[in-house]
Chains A and B, each alone.
Chain A
Amino acid sequence: MPYNKNNPQATDSWIESQRSLQNNFQAIFDSFTFDHEPFGDNNEGMHKKVVFPGLSGAPTESLTDSLVLFNMVSALTGINELNMLRPDTAAVQPLTEIDQNNPKGWMKLPSEIIIKWGVGLNKTASSTITFPVGAGIPVFGVIYAVYVAPKGVGYLNKAIKVISYSTTTIDIYVSRMFQQTDATADAYYLAIGK
């Protein structure tokens, strides 16, 4: 029998009252012990795990400074991700978004920092690495730091320095360190922004 919050009734017999009370206590027991340490345990009431069902939209929470964790499909990755409503702005902040494509990919940290990585092929002397764009790829609103390194075998004595960088590109210079001449190399890059 289901949980009935309006039991017992005045017209119930003692047996009926016992039955309805037992039903409710059983339902309470089942719900309170679901994913929780059970009654009577030293840690009773604590979660064993928290399961988030997929929501079609972000929940609303009007309590000041509250932080809401929920599961919703990401517009970037197209899969269900753990999200939070920020306590300061109530904006949706994804926590687990990542594109692990090799060799190019990106991840968004819970702090809203975005890290991108990849490789620019056959860069000679003064060259430009352009960050991939398109659906499912976040765009830097601001970029803070980059690192670039030559890739592959046969590039002994080759070095890359950064000329400049923007939210969409890294301008680099590929050279031989000692001969002081131009060179060609594939370029691994790491970029940090937001």
Chain B
Amino acid sequence: MAIFTPDIPQAKNQRNADRVLMIQNFNAVSDFMQKNHGNFNTGSQGFHKWVTLLNHDNSIGTMPNVSTGITNALISGIQHLAIWNKDSLGVAFNYSLTRAFPGSTGSTQLTNSFKLKWGTVTLSASEVNVRVTFPTTNQLEFLTECLIVLPIVLNSTNSDTNTWVTLISVDRLGFDIWQSERTTLSVSSGITIIYIALGF
């Protein structure tokens, strides 16, 4: 790997000394340029072959307004592919493209900064209007808003067609749901539901 010497030529240098350093610099430039790129003097000169993102500390560094950057960021102890955006006012925000907490209760990041959450929960039988709070431990959270929740009854008893749920309201921390039976506003036993939620 050639060393690059930026401060040449110098007036005090012998011509041959500068010449050797110039060759060294041109070798260094060639090595530098060809790292992950097409070689000089080829049709792919300047093109990337691939892009290697080194371990990064997830700080934004210098970044102009209205620009987007990608990094290999350390988030909660794990390296992730992350997006940095900076708006016209210079406000920066970031999120990981590859972060997820898979499981029966889980969440994942979407590429447009939205998040998808899901879970299975058994509602209390003591009331028809039930609050479900999204788990937060080891989960991605909706920081601003939950846009939609899709709940459905999970019931292993085929013949029980008498219970259902209705969504009342949603917010970023959870949702309120109405559970009922055909003949009464109460439920004899808690209903288990699966939910899928979308937000950001």
- The residues of A with any CB-CB pair to B shorter than 8 Å are 2-10, 17, 21, 24, 27-28, 30-32, 34-35, 42-43, 46, 50-53, 55, 59, 61, 63-71, 84, 86-88, 93, 95, 109-113, 115, 125-126, 142, 144-149, 159-164, 173, 175-178, 180-182, 190, 192, 194
Contact = CB atoms under 8 A, between A and B. Distances in A.
A110 B150 CA distance: 23
B154 interface: yes
B49 A161 contact: no
B194 interface: yes
Contacts of B110: 109
Nearest to B49: A53
A160 B152 contact: yes
B49 A144 contact: no
B46 A35 contact: yes
Nearest to A146: B194
5 A-B pairs with least C-beta separation: A34-B46, A111-B100, A87-B79, A175-B161, A145-B118
Contacts of A30: 45-46
A106 to B, nearest CB: 14
Interface stretch (B23-31, B86-94, B123-131): B23-31
A51 B150 CA distance: 39
Interface of B: 16, 19, 22-23, 26-27, 29-30, 33, 37, 40-41, 44-55, 64, 67, 70, 72, 78-81, 97-100, 102-104, 106, 108-111, 116, 118-120, 150, 152-156, 158, 161-164, 182, 194-196
A95 B44 CA distance: 24
A83 B127 CA distance: 49
Contacts of B155: 161-163, 173
A28 B46 CA distance: 9
A173 B103 CA distance: 25
Contacts of A4: 26
Contacts of B47: 34-35, 51, 53
Contacts of A144: 102-104, 106, 118
